[in-house]
Structure 1
Amino acid sequence: MDFKRLGYFAVVAELGSLSKTSAQVGIAQPSLSRQMRMLEEELGVPLFIRGPRGMALTPAGQLLYTRIVDPLREIGHAIYEVRSLPTQGRGEVVLGMPPSMVQAIAGAVARRVTTFAPKISLRLVDAYSGYLQKWLQEGDLDAAILYGPTPTGFNATLLLEDELVLVGPAHSPFGSEFIDGKRLEDLPFILSSPAHGLRGIIEEVAAKAGIGLNITTQADSFQLLKEMVDSGIGYTLLPYCGIAREVSTGRFSVARLRRPQFMRQLFFAMRADAEAPRAVLQVEEYVRQEVAALMQTLRPSGDARN
């Protein structure tokens, strides 16, 4: 049974006219008439009484119309809803992440993409925010997670805001307690170079609070920075999500800061001069879902507001 033919039959039954139905459904009247005769032949009974005033249903036609009109409308509505769904993204998406987010969500985001959007080929790039911003501007990345404040020259929306914690070796005397920001002046610090986003955030907050940081070593590698802290030569400030795994194994100790708190903002950024493909927007949604799950389950203990 031809589904379209049944649909044409229902419209003819409602309008009582081949000419009106022809205009409404966009099919030539002779072709429509032929479709109705083919349906009658298929069922073996006349469905219409044809006259100068149009088309009237026979008892068999009335029975058929009554039985199919509601299911046809439900099917039509279902087809409309399916066609209205966002199209599945496809193609390669190159996404840059700072190292702390790579450790926290990269695997989970990749798993979502392979599970729910298998036509997307995701390529992840791990680098500090300063490098990511440059590569995004040059078109080497489709999107990137960048440190705030709001990155200029990009279409950027806030992804998360969380606090930085003091990270020290396992034997640090500050483990699991709150410390005042002024005490940071007495510690040797290991930070990234000034070109990168996290360094700028730390120095800005410290300067506003009148805190002078003693930066003894610089490391433009997240892994190298952690190795230096582990060696015992100094401390650093990092988002908790970037070192939670090492804290749980006892490799590092952490302390939360107050007066002031050091906060970071991360933005999901795309180039402002290019329309984002559907695949990039789909990956962004998966990133946001994983960040939301992360922030609900992964926070340092205690309350730093006092």
Structure 2
Amino acid sequence: MNLRQLAYFVAVAEQRSIQKASAVLHISQPSVSTQIKLLEEELQAQLLERRQSGTVLTPEGELFLNYARTALDALDAAKISLRAKTSSEVGKVVVGIPGSLSTVLSLPLVRQVQLECPNIRLKLVSGLSGHLAKWIEDGDVDFGLVHGIPQENGLDFDFLMREHLFLVSSFGNTSLQSKCTADGDISFAHLHNLPLVLPGKEHGLRRIVEEQARLAGVKLYIRTELDAHELLAEWVKDTADCAVLSLAALKMHGDINDFLIARIVDPVIERRVSIAYASKRPLSRASRRVEGILRNLLSAEIDKGWWTYATLNS
């Protein structure tokens, strides 16, 4: 059985005549008759009856006509869909971006997608890496950036970049400034009993800092908990608390020179950024295009020079 036989059979059924069907198909009558006969032999059923008044469907033919039309319609729909996707990317794409990277990447991504792919409807979702990973697995988000490797089954990760974390305080914190090296670094040991504002325990950043403190034997004094990155920096401006943040998270607050910023060393606190995908759900062509734009934007931001100690995975 092949598509040509199905097309010939449907044409004869609609025209109620092999002669008329052959004219519509621009195929000789013997060729049409031969293909219909081969189809009937394979199905082991008579599909048509040839009468003096024309060609009519048998009960078996009536039943098979529905299947034949469905198969041909599905093929036509597939052709139309693939042609549309080949000419330009079309469709809705939902991308997840953590809050600490949102200011750096979200609006530039929207602008660039509108410029390069006007037929793509882009939706951006922000949240904690663990939440984003779950949404990707559930199919609510097509792909997204996450910190580390969230413990979610059914996901694949592509490691993109690493960034160092910094201790951030108000610019007038002279006691903290005295503990910094000439290069602007501060030893992790100086976090001992320092008043800190950190996200809640479910936040990946909090887990990284606490795990390093445990390994280094440093006692942390977490005086305030705030989950939103934009609130962390604002709180630091107005209080004596210090925060542990990435430079990307500070970018939303304008001039980073408004803060006292010291890279944490001995040891360095490093955070990784990966793209997460659902293992069993391939990306659409539109999603792949948006992913490529996002990668380019991330690389371009690092090349600007402000994002010090952020490096792409080679």
| TM-score (norm: length of structure 1) | 0.66
Shift of 1:292: 0.7
Deviations 1:32-61 (A, max 9, x none): xxxxxxxxxxxxxxxxxxxxxxxxxxxxxx
The residue type equivalent to 2:173 in the other structure is S
Distance in 1 between residues matched to 2:228 and 2:299, nearest whole Å: 26
**Matches of 2:308 and 2:301 in 1, distance apart?**
15
Specify the alignment match of 2:259 in structure 1. Answer: 252
- 1:245 is displaced (CA, Å) by 5.3
User: How many residue pairs get matched?
Assistant: 222
The corresponding residue for 1:172 is 173
The answer for the alignment partner of 2:216 in structure 1 is 209
> What does 1:83-122 correspond to in 2, within 5 Å?
88-122=88-122
Measured after TM superposition, the shift of residue 247 of structure 1 is 6.4
Gaps of at least 5 residues in structure 1 are 1-27, 29-82
Q: Which residue number in structure 1 is paired with residue 163 of structure 2? A: 162
How far residue 260 of structure 1 moved from its aligned partner, in angstroms, is 0.8
1:169-190 deviations in whole A, cap 9, x for unaligned? 1212345721111001131111
- Residue 138 of structure 2: aligned partner: 138
Offset, 1:226: 2.1
One-letter amino acid matched to 1:204: E
The answer to whether residue 262 in structure 2 is matched with residue 261 in structure 1 is no
Give the match's secondary structure for 2:189. Answer: helix
| Displacement of 1:300 | 5.8
**TM-score, length basis structure 2:** 0.64
Contact 2:94 2:124 in 1 (8 A): yes
Structure 1 distance, partners of 2:133, 2:240, is 30
- The residue that corresponds to 2:233 in the other structure is 226
Identity %, equivalent residues: 29
Alpha-carbon distance in 1 for matches of 2:86, 2:189:
52
For the 8 Å contact 2:104–2:252, the answer to whether it is kept is no
2:109–2:293 CA contact under 8 A, matched in 1: yes
Change (3 A) 1:216 1:249: closer
Instruction: Give structure 2 stretches of 5+ with no counterpart.
Output: 1-26, 28-82, 178-182, 310-314
What is the rounded CA distance, in whole Å, between the counterparts of 2:211 and 2:87 in structure 1?
43
How has the CA–CA distance of structure 1 residues 104 and 297 changed in structure 2, closer, same or farther, with 3 Å as cutoff?
Answer: same
- Tell me by how many angstroms 1:147 deviates: 1.0
Secondary structure in structure 1 of the residue aligned to 2:192: helix
Offset of 1:273 from its aligned partner?
Answer: 2.0
Please state whether the residue corresponding to 1:243 is helix, strand or coil.
Answer: helix
Instruction: Measure the CA separation in 2 of the matches of 1:244 and 1:102.
Output: 10
Q: Which residue of 2 aligns with 1:243?
A: 250
| 1:274 has 2:275 as partner | no
What is the Cα deviation at residue 246 of structure 1?
3.3
> Are 2:294 and 1:293 aligned?
no
For residue 274 of structure 1, report the CA deviation from its aligned partner.
Answer: 1.0
CA distance in 2, matches of 1:87, 1:201: 46
Change (3 A) 1:191 1:99: same
RMSD: 2.7
Runs of 4+ in 1 over 3 A off after TM superposition: 85-88, 149-152, 244-247, 298-302
